[in-house]
């Protein structure tokens, strides 16, 4: 108890210092008076009495210090004193302070921003309660896109009923395209995106609507009144955040749909399940209506029971999968999901692929901080050298070594705190900007913000950096011999030399670190250029796509096809006639968008192998589509309007699929054109072969594609593709005008240049490249600053020497060359070491590279030229200054 | 100050102050210091000033109280008085010192006996 009490008293004493000091003074004065009185009584003279009293008392200041130390918090007192001193001395040197704080702010800010990204994407659980229980249930990745990543409603029901590991299993309809919801207030419908989810979706995820209610089983029954849940963003944007929206009904897709709730701001479907896409609303999926017969349409998400590990759920799925049927009506479709039901942690599914990239990013930004620390160390060393006499003096006056180190550490702590504060502001800006990069296909990006963990991280790295860059100069200063420093005239004597050597070592390491960053950025840049160079199998330049609304409802299937054909022909004729448009065509799906497969067609009459690979992706297109896309026809012909529904069924396939089939069929010259394939029991004649298209990403392998004519197969929508001579953006108004003239109900759909599809697919790579490149530019600048600092300092130190040499006849060129030579030496050693380190680092990031070897000579040569050039420039400025030294002035100085 | 004087062990000054106050009643700092010097027969090495660190330390622990008053020769001085907690602490310390001195006596005695036994052997 008394200990606690004592600390409380000490704290109080620390705060009321002045009053207690005055009291102590009074008490001591009384003591001396009392002692003097007694001595007087003993018969001493007044002077002697007082002298004896003071002698008995002992050291006056020591007694006071002892008392203060006993009563208060001496350490804190010293710290306050050091802080005041630091602030004063930094204030005297504003140039140094500003540069140091800026360097630290950049280093720390970049670190905090990247930490926030890493924390959001990797470290933090997904924004759902008990998110570790959630699993993504899908087959291993395969060639046939989403059709092979989804399950039929029958399969879903079986899985849900048979599995014991889950509290519940839900899912959503995987094939909703952007703009599938048409909201109409009377004028042109407004496009929005909604996803059909199984009614228990929100219960499984643990999400409560911010307003209204979630879906119930009744909402998903046959004949249920249409209802919709709005996303927070759409509710704000489209409905002006109407607080009374729940219960209102709107015309959506031609049906009066009731808003039953608004989702919380923290729930962003796109951020978790379809990065880079904006999902405005969610609607209930009726499992027992038409979707029953649509085949594989559902992606499954499960919430495991508490304590069930993923491995157990995975083992169980092995047993349940063989019982799942594609369609319960067809016994032969049972068992086809064998080995195709694999639960993985939802978090792994969402951001697992990014782990490596984020790790590299983290390393890069750590490198920046290291460079910043080395740089600061260097600056502090230069400053410390200038102050060496001050410290020697303090040492001579009795300051302990620890006290001097503490003083220097206080200084670095003050700097790093200021840097961290500024850096935090900088990080706020960067993170805010990143959170609004909605078009970047990275998960959870929109949920990015600086949170408590990021603040903690800031404090941590502020301390670490202070230690890192403050300790070396501190120890260095405190270890010098007093005598030497006091004698050292500051120009070329022992202490100065030692400092310079240490500073050179620091600069070399800085250059080496910058090297690694530059090589990394160079390799990523080369990879990105390679990705941009990939032949997509279509020409995204000068082409654009827009969603076309049409109504082909008719009593019979033939009538429907006939009606659709007329509409499509009208659209194509009308839009194709607009000046500046070269080619037009329609497809229901587009590459880099959604996809689906309809099984695997195979040469007719040839025995299918036991293990059939997954089928090609299906595109239902009009004549002219492949020309509009810029996909080259390799053999045969495009579709024509003469490929009638009543005529022979025809298809076009891509080269890779043709090659696969040619392996089995005995086609003359392996030429598929004119051959007949069997698909689910019907015959299709191959009339054309087109080049392979990258349908999922620029980087991945191309899959297989098959094209059906829109006059024979049923398209599930219509994307009008136009190829223009003018920039496609400029055509938007006239194309939309033409569409609206033909169909007044045409949605004000987004007119998207094809390039945006490619950019979106490449956006994660572009994003990482941008970050790594800016870090390496930062590293380069810091390294240049470091070189400049050292060379400039050494020129300053040697002003006199240079002056003498010039007085003795050294030429300008000689002086300049010497300074530049010194710079080059530092840079070259740094580059040499950095190259070795880069070779190791490059191997570590090899998996992130595309079409670029880790030893890519261009990246390395670029780095050497860039760093060499920047170093030269950094050395050239002090060299010029050296050559301008006026010998007379230099000699008179000092 | 002669070098033969005893150096005070850490913490012993606090006990001396408590004992002095317990025996003599309220006193000012100078009085306490003088009293210790006198009682010890001027054997302890005491800079009178060091008494103030000790006083503030034990006051913060609640073992003594202080108040300003007037000395017998009419000088304003700060007077210290021992509290109940201080007396309890003092008795604890006294018991400790008795035990310690007892042990020290025995240890010293043992050394002599051992030496004698060594000579006999």
pLDDT in tens, A786-815: 888 878 878 877 777 888 888 888 888 888
| CA distance to partner chain B, nearest, from residue A55 (Å) | 8
Which one of A39, A70, A74 makes the best mutation probe of the B interface by having the most chain B beta carbons within 10 Å? A70
- Give pLDDT, residue A493: 44
Gap between the Cα atoms of A50 and A337, Å rounded: 105
Gap between the Cα atoms of A320 and A120, Å rounded: 34
Cβ atoms < 10 Å from Cβ of A26: 14
Gap between the Cα atoms of A514 and A870, Å rounded: 12
Residue B2 touches chain A, beta carbons under 8 Å: no
Phi and psi at residue A141, to the nearest 5°: -60, 145
A784 Cα distance to chain centroid: 27
- Give pLDDT, residue A195: 92
Task: List chain A residues with CB under 8 Å of B30.
Answer: 30-31, 34-35
Gap between the Cα atoms of A421 and A399, Å rounded: 32
Residue B28 touches chain A, beta carbons under 8 Å: yes
Gap between the Cα atoms of A566 and A572, Å rounded: 10
| CA distance to partner chain B, nearest, from residue A76 (Å) | 18
Residue B85 touches chain A, beta carbons under 8 Å: yes
E strand or H helix at A249: strand A249-252
Residues of chain A predicted below pLDDT 50: 489-494
Residue B120 confidence (pLDDT) above 60: no
pLDDT band with cut points at 50, 70 and 90 for residue B8 = low
Task: List chain A residues with CB under 8 Å of B56.
Answer: 67, 70-71
Cβ atoms < 10 Å from Cβ of A150: 24
Q: C-alpha distances in angstroms, A491 versus A36, A346, A498, A706, A877?
A: 57, 65, 12, 80, 21
Residue B11 confidence (pLDDT) above 80: no
- The percentage of chain B sitting over the pLDDT mark of 90, rounded to a whole number, equals 29
What residues of A are in the B interface, CB distance below 8 Å? 2-3, 5-6, 9-10, 13, 23-24, 26-28, 30-31, 33-35, 37-38, 56-60, 62-64, 66-67, 69-71
Quick one: which of A241, A244, A159, A156 has its CA closest to A199?
A: A156
CB contact under 8 A, A71 and B85: no
Task: List chain A residues with CB under 8 Å of B71.
Answer: 30, 34
pTM (two decimals): 0.76
Contact A110, A400 (CB under 8 A): no
Task: List chain B residues with CB under 8 Å of A63.
Answer: 47, 49-50, 52-53
User: CA Rg, chain B, in Å?
Assistant: 18
Task: List chain B residues with CB under 8 Å of A27.
Answer: 29, 52, 77-78
| CA distance to partner chain B, nearest, from residue A75 (Å) | 17
Size of interface A-B (CB pairs under 8 A): 87
Considering the domain delimited by B12-120, tell me its CATH architecture: Orthogonal Bundle (1.10)
Quick one: which of B16, B36, B18, B34 has its CA closest to B77?
A: B34
Strand A705-709 and strand A617-621: pairing? parallel
- Give pLDDT, residue A429: 93
Gap between the Cα atoms of A425 and A447, Å rounded: 19
Residue B31 touches chain A, beta carbons under 8 Å: yes
Strand A682-690 and strand A650-654: pairing? parallel
- Give pLDDT, residue A142: 65
- Give pLDDT, residue A481: 60
Quick one: which of A191, A156, A188 has its CA closest to A172?
A: A156
pLDDT in tens, A583-603: 999 999 898 887 788 888 899
Nearest residue of B to residue A28, measured between CA atoms: B49
CB contact under 8 A, A5 and B61: yes
Gap between the Cα atoms of A630 and A544, Å rounded: 11
Residue ranges of E strands in chain B = 27-28, 64-70, 76-82
Task: List chain B residues with CB under 8 Å of A37.
Answer: 73, 75
Q: What ipTM was reported for this prediction? A: 0.83
- Give pLDDT, residue A113: 92
CB contact under 8 A, B77 and A31: yes
Quickly count helices (H) and strands (E) in chain A: 27, 23
Gap between the Cα atoms of A434 and A454, Å rounded: 15
| CA distance to partner chain B, nearest, from residue A19 (Å) | 14
- Give pLDDT, residue A86: 85
| CA distance to partner chain A, nearest, from residue B26 (Å) | 15
Phi and psi at residue A780, to the nearest 5°: -60, -45
| CA distance to partner chain B, nearest, from residue A78 (Å) | 18
Nearest residue of A to residue B27, measured between CA atoms: A31
Task: List chain A residues with CB under 8 Å of B73.
Answer: 34, 37
- Give pLDDT, residue A632: 94
CB contact under 8 A, A67 and B56: yes
Contact A485, A386 (CB under 8 A): no
Nearest residue of B to residue A12, measured between CA atoms: B60
């Amino acid at each position: 108890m008394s200990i606690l009490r004592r600390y409380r008293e000490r704290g109080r004493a620390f705060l009321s210092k002045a009053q207690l000091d005055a009291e102590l003074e009074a008490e001591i004065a009384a003591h001396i008076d009392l002692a003097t009185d007694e001595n007087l009584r003993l018969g001493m003279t007044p002077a002697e009495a007082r002298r004896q009293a003071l002698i008995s008392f002992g050291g006056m200041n020591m007694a006071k210090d002892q008392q203060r130390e006993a009563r208060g918090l001496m350490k804190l007192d010293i710290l306050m004193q050091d802080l005041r001193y630091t602030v004063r001395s930094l204030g005297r040197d504003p140039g140094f302070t500003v540069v140091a704080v800026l360097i630290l702010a950049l280093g720390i800010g970049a670190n905090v921003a990247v930490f926030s990204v890493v924390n959001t994407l990797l470290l933090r659980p997904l924004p759902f309660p008990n998110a570790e229980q959630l699993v993504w249930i899908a087959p291993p990745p395969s060639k046939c896109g989403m059709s092979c990543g989804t399950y039929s409603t029958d399969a879903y029901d079986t899985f849900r009923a048979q599995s014991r590991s889950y509290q519940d299993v839900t899912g959503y309809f995987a094939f909703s395209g952007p703009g599938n919801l048409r909201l109409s207030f009377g004028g042109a419908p407004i496009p929005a995106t909604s996803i059909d989810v199984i009614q228990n979706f929100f219960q499984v995820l643990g999400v409560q609507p911010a307003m209204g209610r979630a879906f119930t089983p009744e909402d998903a029954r046959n004949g249920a009144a249409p209802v919709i849940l709005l996303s927070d963003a759409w509710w704000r944007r489209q409905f002006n955040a109407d607080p009374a929206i729940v219960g209102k009904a709107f015309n959506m897709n031609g049906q009066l749909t009731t808003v039953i709730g608004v989702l919380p701001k923290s729930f962003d479907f796109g951020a978790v399940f379809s990065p880079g896409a904006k999902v405005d609303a969610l609607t209930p999926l009726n499992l027992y209506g038409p979707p029953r017969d649509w085949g594989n349409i559902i992606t499954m998400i499960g919430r495991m029971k508490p304590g069930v590990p993923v491995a157990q759920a995975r083992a169980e799925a092995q047993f349940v999968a063989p019982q799942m049927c594609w369609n319960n009506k067809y016994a032969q479709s049972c068992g086809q999901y064998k080995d195709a039901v694999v639960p993985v942690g939802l978090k792994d599914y969402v951001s697992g692929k990014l782990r490596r990239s984020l790790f590299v990013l983290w390393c890069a930004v750590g490198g920046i901080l290291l460079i910043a620390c080395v740089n600061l160390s260097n600056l502090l060393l230069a400053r410390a050298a200038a102050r060496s006499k001050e410290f020697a003096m303090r040492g001579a006056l009795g300051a302990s070594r620890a006290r001097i180190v503490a003083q220097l550490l206080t200084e670095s702590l003050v700097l790093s705190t200021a840097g961290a504060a500024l850096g935090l502001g900088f990080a706020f800006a960067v993170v805010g900007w990143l959170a609004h990069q909605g078009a970047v296909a990275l998960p959870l990006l929109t949920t990015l913000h600086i949170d408590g963990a990021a603040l903690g991280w800031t404090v941590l790295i502020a301390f670490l950096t202070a230690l890192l860059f403050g300790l070396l100069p501190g120890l260095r200063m405190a270890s010098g011999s007093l005598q030497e420093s006091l004698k050292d005239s500051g120009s070329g004597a022992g202490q100065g030399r030692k400092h310079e050597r240490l500073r050179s070592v620091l600069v070399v390491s800085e250059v080496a670190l910058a090297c690694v960053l530059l090589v990394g950025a160079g390799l990523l840049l080369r990879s990105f250029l390679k990705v941009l160079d990939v032949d997509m199998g279509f020409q995204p330049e000068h082409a654009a796509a827009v969603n076309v609304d049409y109504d082909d409802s008719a009593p019979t299937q033939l009538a429907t096809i006939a009606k659709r054909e007329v509409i499509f022909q009208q659209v194509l004729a009308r839009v194709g006639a607009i000046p500046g448009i070269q080619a037009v065509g329609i497809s229901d799906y587009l590459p880099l968008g959604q996809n689906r497969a309809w099984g695997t067609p195979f040469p007719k009459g040839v025995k299918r192998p036991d293990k059939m690979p997954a089928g090609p992706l299906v595109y239902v297109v009009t004549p002219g589509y492949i020309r509009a896309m810029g996909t080259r026809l390799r053999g045969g012909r495009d579709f024509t309007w003469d490929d009638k529904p009543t005529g022979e069924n025809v298809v076009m396939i891509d080269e890779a699929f043709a090659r696969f089939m040619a392996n089995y069929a005995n086609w003359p010259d392996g030429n598929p054109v004119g051959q007949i394939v069997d698909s689910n029991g019907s015959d299709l004649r191959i009339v054309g072969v087109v080049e392979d298209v990258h349908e999922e990403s620029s980087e991945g392998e191309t899959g297989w594609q098959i094209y059906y004519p829109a006059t024979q197969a049923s398209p599930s929508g219509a994307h009008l593709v136009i190829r223009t001579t003018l920039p496609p953006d400029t055509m938007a108004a006239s194309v939309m005008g033409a569409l609206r003239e033909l169909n007044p109900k045409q949605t004000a759909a987004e007119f998207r240049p094809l390039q945006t599809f490619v950019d979106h697919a490449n956006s994660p790579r572009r994003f990482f490249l941008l970050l790594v490149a800016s870090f390496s530019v930062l590293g380069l600048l810091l390294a240049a600053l470091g070189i400049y600092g050292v060379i400039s300092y050494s020129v300053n130190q040697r002003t006199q020497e240079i002056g003498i040499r010039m007085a003795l006849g050294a030429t300008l060129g000689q002086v300049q060359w010497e300074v530049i030579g010194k710079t080059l030496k530092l840079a070259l050693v740094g580059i040499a070491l950095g190259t070795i380190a880069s070779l190791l680092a490059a191997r570590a990031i090899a998996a992130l590279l595309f079409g670029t070897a880790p030893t890519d000579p261009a990246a390395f040569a670029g780095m050497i030229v860039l760093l060499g050039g920047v170093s030269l420039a950094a050395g050239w400025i002090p060299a010029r200054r050296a050559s301008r030294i006026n010998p007379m002035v230099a000699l008179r100085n000092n | 100050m002669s070098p033969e004087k005893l150096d005070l062990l850490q913490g012993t000054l606090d006990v001396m102050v408590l004992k002095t106050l317990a025996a003599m009643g309220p006193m000012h700092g100078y009085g306490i210091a003088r009293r210790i010097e006198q009682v010890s027969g001027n054997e302890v090495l005491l800079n009178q000033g060091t008494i103030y660190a000790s006083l503030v330390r034990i006051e913060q622990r609640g073992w003594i109280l202080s108040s300003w008053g007037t000395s017998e020769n009419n000088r304003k001085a700060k007077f210290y008085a021992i509290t109940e907690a201080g007396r309890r602490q003092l008795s604890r310390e006294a018991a400790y010192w008795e035990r310690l001195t007892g042990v020290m006596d025995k240890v010293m005695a043992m050394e002599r006996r051992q030496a004698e036994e060594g000579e006999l052997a």
